[in-house]
Amino acid sequence: MTKYGFGSGIELPTTTAPAKPKPKIETKNIEKAIQAGSELGFVSREPTTRLKPGPKRKEPQDKVSIPGPKRVTDEFRAYCRSRGLTLWEGLESLLQSQK
């Protein structure tokens, strides 16, 4: 029995010549291929750059999830969007107007 108990093993052929280097691909050919792919609807799978974390929180945070009719949530989101507010800022604005 030989190493690991599998008999004598197999004979591998010897290599005589080193492997040929790959031919250099021209940049214009790569650009053509990218353009053809984008025309066919292919999109890049390269990861996007990560954004830096947002500002540090100045007060404790919590979360509210309120299910409701889509027309109401859409109207609230439009209210916030039209005033350049985040959702929590829009809620705070509405609460302040009720005081």
| Digit-coded pLDDT (tens) for 4-37 | 666 666 777 777 777 788 888 888 888 998 889 8
Long-range contacts, 88-91 (Cβ 8 Å, 24+): 91/64
Q: Indicate whether this model's pTM tops 0.85.
A: no
| Digit-coded pLDDT (tens) for 62-88 | 888 989 999 999 999 999 999 999 999
Distance (Å) of CA 33 to CA 30, 43, 47: 5, 13, 20
Q: In the structure encoding, which two tokens stand for residue 51, read together?
A: 């954004």
| Residue 6 backbone phi and psi in degrees, to 5 | -110, 25
Q: Specify whether the CB–CB gap between 89 and 76 falls below 8 A.
A: no
Q: In the structure encoding, which two tokens stand for residue 63, read together?
A: 């979360």
Q: In the structure encoding, which two tokens stand for residue 79, read together?
A: 């209210």
